[in-house]
Amino acid sequence: MAIEVRIPTILRNLTDGAKTVEGEGATIAELITHLDKNHPGIGARLVENDQLRRFVNVYLNDEDVRFLGGIDAPVSDGDTVTVLPAVAGGAR
Amino acid sequence: MRFDSLLGSLGHTPLVGLPGLSPSPEVRIWAKLEDRNPTGSIKDRAAFFMIEQAEKDGLLTPGCTILEPTSGNTGISLAMVARLRGYRMVCVMPENTSAERSQLLAMWGAKIHYSPAEGGSNEAVRVAKRMAAEHPEWVMLYQYGNPANARAHYETTGPELLADLPEITHFVAGLGTTGTLMGVGRYLREHKPGTQIVAAEPRYGELVYGLRNIDEGFIPELYDETVLTTRFSVPADAALKRTRELLDKEGIFAGISTGGALHAALGVAARAVKAGERADIAFVIADAGWKYLSTGAYEGTLEEAEERLDGQLWA
């Protein structure tokens, strides 16, 4: 088993158009490093100076990883990680 | 209850228990019925406070035009207050919002300027900022960065919640401008330390995240991460399912974003049960379901409803 990572439209040019890819690692940081090996360039789009980029949101099983330890948040097999750009959203 | 005018009746909304959805007598869920505000949504609080503040600051004078990027409730609230106070109102709204919203805005005399569906409210904000630069005499209250938005909840929603539910352990609300969560969150953190503040962020279809590059993202100026305990991303199918459960189990007819907040509240409740802790969880019914009838959210199977909702701004 691996960790399922959902990729937003804007980054799919780096995953050959794939909406979801699989990754490995014990933390979000390790997962991103692993992703970058298979999809070169994706790491730099998500992380800057060892922090998630300002307009990048990463959710571990639907919970924002910024509240779970940031890129050091632990992950394990079977988890789902969703990457989304920060947007203003809808009905305000 | 008697008030001098409709605006005087703002707030003081009921807090009702949800015996059919609460997991146990020790872990209870409470709903704050914000649809019981003058125009039917929680946004009346922010709209009224933002206009009052702008009047106090001398920014708004009779005959002024108010400009606001809004795909719905804030625009409706502002349009109503503007009509009563003699201001013109121009809303910048993404084209993929429900028909009822346009009708309600027009009803209170607002002019609507549509922005492209791609990019959702990000694009509406950008278009509104451009229009504000072209019309320096217009007043953009700018709900995403106006401190009076959060202050409305610090001064009214927060105190109402604590008065009605002194044993509150969690507050859950939808995350948009972040005004509700920042205002109520700060109030509860100061007056009931240890209360957990939980955000439910709607997760839309892909169209809404269609930025040209990631640096075009948007974070409301009001947002302060340190006020929150945590933040959940709620997909449309979960929000729809919970909106239906509210109807079936509690008889509450709420808008779809409320289903998202309930989803997070139930998640928090399940954690409390698992940990064997007592919890009193209050969440916000942001509006009722009337404005969303045309989306088909309440008809047919959940799968059909979800399909109809794809690409729409449901919260």
- A89 and B124: CB-CB below 8 Å? no
Distances (CA, A) of B57 to A89, B51, B52, B61, B135: 30, 10, 9, 10, 19
Interface of B with A in 290-309 (CB under 8 A): none
Residue B88 burial by Cβ neighbours in a 10 Å radius (0-12, 13-18, 19+):
middle
| Residue B13 counted as an annotated binding residue | no
Neighbours of A82 (CB within 10 A): 22
∠ Cα B65 B71 B72 (to 5°): 85
Asked whether residue B58 falls in the same domain as residue B32, the answer is no
Of B22, B102, B257, B291, the active-site residue reads: B257
Banded model confidence at residue B206, pLDDT cuts 50, 70, 90: confident
AA identity, residue B269: A
- B314 and A92: CB-CB below 8 Å? no
Q: What is the pLDDT of residues B229-255, one digit of tens each?
A: 999 999 999 999 999 999 999 999 999
Q: What's B194's domain CATH number? A: 3.40.50.1100
Q: Does A41 touch chain B (CB under 8 A)?
A: no
Tell whether B315 is covered by a domain.
Answer: no
From CA B103, how far away is CA B101, in angstroms rounded?
5
Q: What is the DSSP letter of B30?
A: E
Asked whether residue B162 falls in the same domain as residue B244, the answer is yes
Q: Does A6 touch chain B (CB under 8 A)?
A: no
Chain centre distance of CA B85: 23
Closest-CA residue in chain A for B76?
Answer: A92
Q: B159-176 burial, b for 16+ CB within 10 Å, e for fewer?
A: bbbbebbeebbbbbbbbb
Closest CA of chain A from B6, distance in Å: 22
> What local confidence, expressed as pLDDT, does residue A1 receive?
65
Asked whether residue B264 falls in the same domain as residue B204, the answer is yes
- A62 and B234: CB-CB below 8 Å? yes
Question: So what's the ipTM on this one?
Answer: 0.93
Q: What is the pLDDT of residues B24-77, one digit of tens each?
A: 999 999 999 999 999 999 999 999 999 999 999 999 998 999 999 986 899 999
Whether B41 contacts B35, CB under 8 Å: yes
Banded model confidence at residue B314, pLDDT cuts 50, 70, 90: low
**Active-site residue, B257 included:** yes
Asked whether residue B103 falls in the same domain as residue B30, the answer is no
Closest CA of chain A from B143, distance in Å: 8
Tell whether B145 is covered by a domain.
Answer: no
Asked whether residue B168 falls in the same domain as residue B303, the answer is yes
Interface of B with A in 143-162 (CB under 8 A): 143-144
Asked whether residue B199 falls in the same domain as residue B131, the answer is no
Which one of B140, B169, B197 terminates a domain?
B140
Tally of domains in chain B: 2
Which one of B81, B114, B140 terminates a domain?
B140
Question: Topology of domain A3-85, per CATH?
Answer: Ubiquitin-like (UB roll) (3.10.20)
Q: Does B95 touch chain A (CB under 8 A)?
A: no
From CA B206, how far away is CA B81, in angstroms rounded?
35
Flag whether pLDDT at A6 surpasses 90.
yes
pLDDT, average across residues B84-98: 89
- Domain of residue B209: give its range: 6-36+156-309
Longest dimension (CA), chain B: 58
Asked whether residue B181 falls in the same domain as residue B269, the answer is yes
**Active-site residue, B274 included:** no
Asked whether residue B187 falls in the same domain as residue B305, the answer is yes
When computed from its CA atoms, the radius of gyration of chain A, rounded to whole angstroms, is 12
Tokens representing B102 are: 């346009």
pTM for the complete prediction?
0.94
> What local confidence, expressed as pLDDT, does residue B210 receive?
67
- CB-CB: which of B101, B217, B257 is closest to A86? B217
Q: Which residue has the tokens 């028909």?
A: B99
Tell whether B70 is covered by a domain.
Answer: yes
Whether A28 contacts A72, CB under 8 Å: yes
> What local confidence, expressed as pLDDT, does residue B303 receive?
86
AA identity, residue B138: W
Closest-CA residue in chain B for A68?
Answer: B230
Tell whether B147 is covered by a domain.
Answer: no
Of B32, B43, B115, B291, the active-site residue reads: B43
> What local confidence, expressed as pLDDT, does residue B311 receive?
63
How many Cβ contacts (< 8 angstroms) between chains A and B? Answer: 123
Q: Does A65 touch chain B (CB under 8 A)?
A: no
Asked whether residue B256 falls in the same domain as residue B278, the answer is yes
Asked whether residue B165 falls in the same domain as residue B21, the answer is yes
